[in-house]
Amino acid sequence: MKWRNSYFAIFTLLAFVAISFQSCLDNDDDLVVGDWALVWEDNFDGDQGTLPNPDFWNFDIGTDWGNQQLEYDTDRAENASLDGEGNLAIVARRENFAGSAFTSARITTKGKVEQAYGRFEARMKLPYGPGIWPAFWLLGSNIDEVGWPQCGEIDMMELRGQLPNINNSSLHGPGYSGGNSITKSFTLEQDRFDNDFHVFAVEWGVDYMYFFVDDTLFMKVTPEDIPGEWVYDHPFHVILNLAVGGNYVGFPTSQTPFPQTMLIDYVKIYENRN
């Protein structure tokens, strides 16, 4: 397959947001160019040790979450709080807590910030090491009614800590979930995601999903590309979490330093005004 680069510039006025991207896809002639307006954001400004804004974020408290994770996710500032420098720090620690050998945090906007369609993005600096599993993703807010994967799941960023230069983006739905998800990887050439901040995003329309790292579009999915039902027609909410262990990454090893920190500079949601 012959790859080529294309550049698109999106110019907006006043409250509109200009976003440009470079495509690494070979069939980009039919891409939908959005006219993006910012509708919600959290920049995590505040004093060091402050919990994330409760008007926006909930804590999921517990362990496993169906993925055989090893950490116990808490609502403590030690595991998720502002760092005083404009970031949210989600911190995984090696410590005995509630029967688990590790602690961390998992926060969600369910019931507080939910949206169907748009551009969802976060600027983050990621942790690393065997058994470390950070994620930035969307989950269908009807999960309590229809269950998973019928509710749909959109993963903008999943990283196996033992491969700190590779981001994985995926769609999970009925007939294509878990190990059979629609997935593509983006490799950061001659660098690692724990060295600096990078922007991870999805642009979601009625019949398309575009996945980005920084300004590079690397994955495009339409209903014709999936083997099951396209279930992306209702509000989703945002989830940020840092897992330890689990069936996706395996166990931490002696080469995995703790604590591990996932820094989030911001999370933003846009609407397409086209």
Which backbone phi and psi does 145 adopt, to 5 degrees? -90, -40
| Residue 153 annotated among the catalytic residues of the structure | yes
CB 170 within 8 A of CB 181: yes
Residue with tokens 């990621």: 126
Q: Which two tokens stand for residue 124?
A: 């983050």
Name 212's bridge partners: 201, 217
End-to-end C-alpha distance for the chain, whole angstroms: 32
Q: Which two tokens stand for residue 203?
A: 């642009």
The DSSP secondary structure of 187-222, one letter per residue, reads E-TT--TTSS-EEEEEEEETTEEEEEETTEEEEEE-
Among residues 158, 189, 224, 271, the one annotated as catalytic is: 158
CB 44 within 8 A of CB 82: yes
User: What is the distance between the alpha carbons of residues 43 and 45, in angstroms, rounded to a whole number?
Assistant: 6
Query: Letter for the amino acid at 79?
Result: N
Among residues 121, 153, 224, 271, the one annotated as catalytic is: 153
| Residue 114 annotated among the catalytic residues of the structure | no
Q: Which two tokens stand for residue 85?
A: 């420098």
User: What is the distance between the alpha carbons of residues 166 and 162, in angstroms, rounded to a whole number?
Assistant: 9
- Which residues have a catalytic role annotated? 153, 158
